[in-house]
Structure 1
Amino acid sequence: MTAGRVAVVTGGAGALGAAIGEHLTGQAEVVLLADRDLDGARERSENLRGVEACYLDVADDESVQALVETVERRFGRLDVIVNNAAVTAPRGMEALRRDDWERVMAVNVWGPTALCRKAVPLWSSTRAGGRVVNITSRTWLSGGPIAYTSSKAAVVGLTRSLALELAPFGVTANAVAPSMVATPFTRGDRSEEEYAAFEAKHLAMTPMRRFATPEDIAHAVGYLASEAAGFVTGEVLHVCGGAQLAPAP
């Protein structure tokens, strides 16, 4: 563990965010699980040494500003940002409305952008370097639900752009692209029958014949957030068991 290192994980109340946060305790002195669901984040952080819960709505600029100001006031540094918070929308084009689209883009694309943007003055003043890890999805390669997939493709472009903009501060920016992880978020509003068919299709297209786990994703994030990845930036690491090589189900 690097003494004094501070990490923020958005979407920290979810299964993926919680697993990432727990894994990062091996690299950071303080890990903040940030989420609109503050009670959920608090529940995830219980009994985890060095892990705290805090409120954050990534689509609300004032909320983002408040979080960064709190981190600066309390710790004077911000070493790792994991942009994990995400929402989705109706899957079919005919069911998609403009406000669905705008909500997905506000959370999935503007949220990571805003958080990094607000952190720039802190990175600029400390010159201590840092890591940004964005959670995208293998759907950026294959296609999928229109709003969600478009947002995750945008996150790849955002990651590459951040890599260029943040390099002068010694901050790297990379992305992790998981395949299917069996969580409530993935299940969404599917019926039992629909979800069973969805699982079967994803399993069939995965050469390693299993789904990703939150821990699989957390280990990939941990590498990109570590000192070992200090000269890796602008990359997308697929954690898919080979599913990134297959067409969409």
Structure 2
Amino acid sequence: MVRIDAKGLHYKKLNDLIWEAVENGEEEIVLDNVCGQRYIGAGIRKKVKIEINGVPGNDLGVFMDGPEIIVNGNAQDGVGNTMNAGKIVVHGHAGDIIGYAMRGGHIYIKRNAGYRVGIHMKAYKENYPVVVIGGFARDFLGEYMAGGLLIVLGLEKDEDGNIAGNYVGTGMHGGEIFLRGTVEEHKLGKEVKIFQPTEEDINRIKPYVEEFCRLFDYDSEEILNEEFIILKPYTHRPYGRLYAY
């Protein structure tokens, strides 16, 4: 295990030190005093665990392909941007565009997330991205989503008592959004509809909810016993007629 003090380090210098440790065969890296440094874990393809004490900056885990990143605090925007594989665990809040164009791997956020979570998420064959949010998500959840799975557990609610903001699923043409609770239909993008989950549906999300509860010390049985809804797109080409006739 190697420990790096990030206090006052430029993000490029910090990332150079991380890559040096990875190339030297380190399997566990602890970063202390992180404060806004960007691109931590960017493009790393080896099985390494990175633990962050502090608040990482934008694009945490961008293009990541295999590592596990644990954030003991909050994270800024773009967590898991175009991520291929691995796991990111945030023991706090996360900012906007979480999982942007994410292609695989899992992201677990204990508390709340910002705007445009899951925008352009996609899945292909064995690549299946999953984002689980413990609290609520802001506007444009699942915007232009093309595949994968978003789960919002609603353990916290926003100032109006909602677990999702406006324009949920706008432009969505693949994947699924599970909400533990309800959302008013006027908050939905016109491309999605509400469905009631079957027992099979709940069994599909159960492993991810159980992992969330294991990570953050919640009771999975209690959470899964509450009512969920599923949001799904009703067309795979929501804007087809705008561009082709």
Q: TM-score scaled by structure 1?
A: 0.28
Q: TM-score scaled by structure 2?
A: 0.28
Task: Name the one with the larger helix percent.
Answer: 1
Task: Name the one with the larger strand percent.
Answer: 2
